[in-house]
Amino acid sequence: MFENETLDRQNLALSVLPKKTNDFNITKQGRVLRGDGVSPLSTILGPVAQLVEHCPFKAGAARSIRARLTILKDIMADIERKNYQIWGKKRKQALNKFKNVLKKWEITMPKVKPQVLDLGLGNFYKTGLIEYWIANEDKEGYCGKFLFVFNGQTCPYHKHNYKHETFFILKGKVRMKINGKKIVKKQGTVITMPQGSYHSFTGLGNALLLEVSKPCKPNDNIFKNKKIGKNGIL
């Protein structure tokens, strides 16, 4: 999703939600703050959706509200995912390092906004990765994206209950952990990851992978580290 579109949709979200709801404060960045940290917009949108479904609105008004709720639900994943990225100077430095590697490899990424993920753990070069999404077509049933890890950087141990994945190692090599077994995978290797298979990969040098899979869905990333997302679910 492009930045301007995201901002327009976030502004819509903030325009129809109250500035304060009990102990929650909605910030201009789209975060919902409370005493114990950052919570997703779904905390508020769930009850609002139920209210719309069960209150006797006029037909036109109900359709209008439901249309807005559809947009709000759609941006929830975008906003929540932003909370698991690095920003500012650290983001710029990481992307510059990544682009220098790509230049040496003579590879060009698609013109989309990258996701520079530390998964909320605050140690990007130890645990994290950079993702460039080519497509995530839920209706048509497919997803494609590039995954990059720096030397020694790990995409942490996790599984998917819905998504079936196939990885192709385009550049470099990685040490993968698959259902408890560690194995080194080199450039040119294809790895299939069925649903329910726990897996992680660590760069042995800089490494670039292509992922082809079923669509990515919220709450289908189940991590062993319960500090990621909400009790390990993202």
User: Which domain-ending residue is among 35, 59, 82?
Assistant: 82
Instruction: Specify whether 133 is located in the same domain as 209.
Output: yes
- Provide the CA 71 distance to its chain's centre, in angstroms: 18
CATH number of the domain enclosing 217: 2.60.120.10
- Does residue 33 fall inside a structural domain? yes
What angle, 0 to 180 degrees and rounded to 10, lies between the N-to-C axes of helices 42-54 and 59-82?
170
The sign of the CA dihedral 191, 197, 202, 208 is positive
pLDDT of 39: 42
Instruction: Specify whether 28 is located in the same domain as 92.
Output: no
User: Which domain-ending residue is among 59, 82, 105?
Assistant: 82
pLDDT at 114 over 80: yes
State the chain's mean pLDDT as an integer.
Answer: 81
Each residue's pLDDT tens digit, 65-74: 666 666 665 5
pLDDT at 109 over 90: yes
Instruction: Specify whether 100 is located in the same domain as 69.
Output: no
8 A C-beta contact, residue 181 and residue 199: no
Instruction: Specify whether 51 is located in the same domain as 124.
Output: no
Query: Where are any strands of DSSP class E within 67-141?
Result: 115-117, 129-137
Instruction: Specify whether 122 is located in the same domain as 216.
Output: yes
In sequence order, which residues have a C-beta less than 8 Å from that of residue 170 and are 6 or more positions away? 107, 146, 187, 208, 209, 210
User: Which domain-ending residue is among 82, 98, 113?
Assistant: 82
In sequence order, which residues have a C-beta less than 8 Å from that of residue 176 and are 6 or more positions away? 182, 183, 184, 185, 191, 199, 200, 201, 202
Instruction: Specify whether 74 is located in the same domain as 173.
Output: no
- Provide the CA 77 distance to its chain's centre, in angstroms: 7
Instruction: Specify whether 117 is located in the same domain as 207.
Output: yes
Instruction: Specify whether 137 is located in the same domain as 210.
Output: yes
pLDDT of 75: 57
pLDDT of 70: 62
Comparing 159 with 4, which gets the higher pLDDT? 159
Instruction: Specify whether 37 is located in the same domain as 74.
Output: yes
Comparing 117 with 67, which gets the higher pLDDT? 117
pLDDT-above-90 percentage for the chain: 65
- Does residue 51 fall inside a structural domain? yes
pLDDT of 35: 37
Tally of domains in the chain: 2
- Does residue 24 fall inside a structural domain? yes
Instruction: Specify whether 125 is located in the same domain as 171.
Output: yes
Instruction: Specify whether 95 is located in the same domain as 68.
Output: no
Q: Which domain holds residue 106?
A: 88-223
- Does residue 228 fall inside a structural domain? no
Instruction: Specify whether 172 is located in the same domain as 62.
Output: no
pTM, 2 dp: 0.70
Each residue's pLDDT tens digit, 168-195: 999 999 999 999 999 999 999 999 999 9
pLDDT at 219 over 60: yes
pLDDT of 36: 38
- Does residue 109 fall inside a structural domain? yes
Average pLDDT over residues 200-220: 97
Comparing 6 with 233, which gets the higher pLDDT? 233
